[in-house]
Amino acid sequence: MTAQPVSSPSLWPAAHIQDARRPRSQQRQLGASDTVCERRAAYILSGAERTDTSDKRAAILGTYLHEGLLGSARSEYGWLVETAVADDSIRGHVDAVHLDASTAARLPKRLRPTAPADVVTVEDIKTKSTFLWDRVIRYGATAAEIRQAYLYADLLRTVGWLDIHGQKPMARLGPIDVGRIRFRFVNRDNGAEYVQEFPFDKAEATRARWWVQRVMEYESPEEATRSFDGPGLDPICDNCPFRTPCWGEPKTPGVAVQTVLVHDDADRETALSEYVRGHEMEAEGQRIKKKARAKLDDSPAGIYGPNQLRWTGGNPVQEVDREAMIDTFDVLGVPIPEKTGADFQRMEAVMKEAGVAIPMRTAAKKTTRAIRVTAVQR
């Protein structure tokens, strides 16, 4: 890799500057997408200054992809995208709302979808890396993602669209009877798509509202629960703009920030018990995996229920054929380099220098065979 030439600066500083100007990066009011961590939401509500920056390249790429996909869906399918919803406590932009025929009929023609939905569906699009893809297929949206989608859906259901420029005809519809939540995951490395959807559940929407209500009732952000384990342990904290006020500085420079959670011997006793519990769970997990691996040792690759079995390795290993190498030296009349016996390393070097092919043979051993288990996308 070459250093960035002065005449051709990196694009990323420009992208970060633009990203910081986005309304989402400056807002102080709580947005549905801010409901990932209780304490972070509390900092936003308190108007706390964002003290920490982070490398946002992956997030910025996700934003570009998101905007591109939604723009295409709006142009080609007539989707209602990035529409604003809000009430006194929360606001947000819904990625896409798919109206049913009767609701769509109440809108001007230009705002009607090309293909109405059977029930009004609120769709949230999430871009994910391949690294997280297996988790997406296996478990779908996280609790925080589901909460966010329910907040959007409930704002639509109770208030309707915000009455602002660009969406006045939609605002005139009033509350919308949302019947379904849909997540569309897009793999940002290879474009794969995975859709998860479920009927709108009023109880789940109420739980999402309570979550917001609870955060609003804290008198200071420090009363709110840290929903994640902290910098160095969770990427959400690594990228959080409030990680310094949230965790503070450890007493001893250079140690983990989580040390701020230990104040006395009682805390140490608790942490040690947690460590032992984690160790026991890990040991039990390893035991289960090892036994299952052994049971599968003779099974062919394939799809078995929700999982796909694959094998890597187990291939023949090529090694230098030493006898053939001695023969080659004899045939060429070249003296064999010796140490205590034939110096095979030196022989290889001599053959490479002379441009003579080093004879290889298939060894008795094979490369390490490893199991790979991934979720099956249905």
Which residues of this chain interact with ligand SF4, rule CB under 6 A?
37, 39-40, 226-228, 236-237, 240, 242-243, 246
Minimum gap (Å) between residue 290 Cβ and ligand SF4: 34
173: nearest Cα among 120, 117, 124: 120
Residue closer to ligand SF4 (CB basis): 147 or 180: 147
Is 70 within 8 Å of 95 (Cβ atoms)?
A: yes
Residue closer to ligand SF4 (CB basis): 92 or 221: 221
179: nearest Cα among 156, 163, 146: 156
Order across the sheet with 370-375: list the strands.
302-304, 307-312, 370-375
Is 309 within 8 Å of 369 (Cβ atoms)?
A: no
Residue closer to ligand SF4 (CB basis): 158 or 227: 227
How far from the centroid of its chain's Cα atoms is residue 292's Cα? Answer: 28
In our burial notation (b when 16+ CB lie closer than 10 A, e otherwise), range 210-236 reads ebbeebeebeebeebebbbebbeeeeb
Is 41 within 8 Å of 213 (Cβ atoms)?
A: no
Q: Is 303 exposed, middle or buried (0-12, 13-18, 19+ CB in 10 A)?
A: exposed
Residue closer to ligand SF4 (CB basis): 214 or 226: 226
Minimum gap (Å) between residue 42 Cβ and ligand SF4: 8
Minimum gap (Å) between residue 245 Cβ and ligand SF4: 8
Residue closer to ligand SF4 (CB basis): 148 or 187: 148
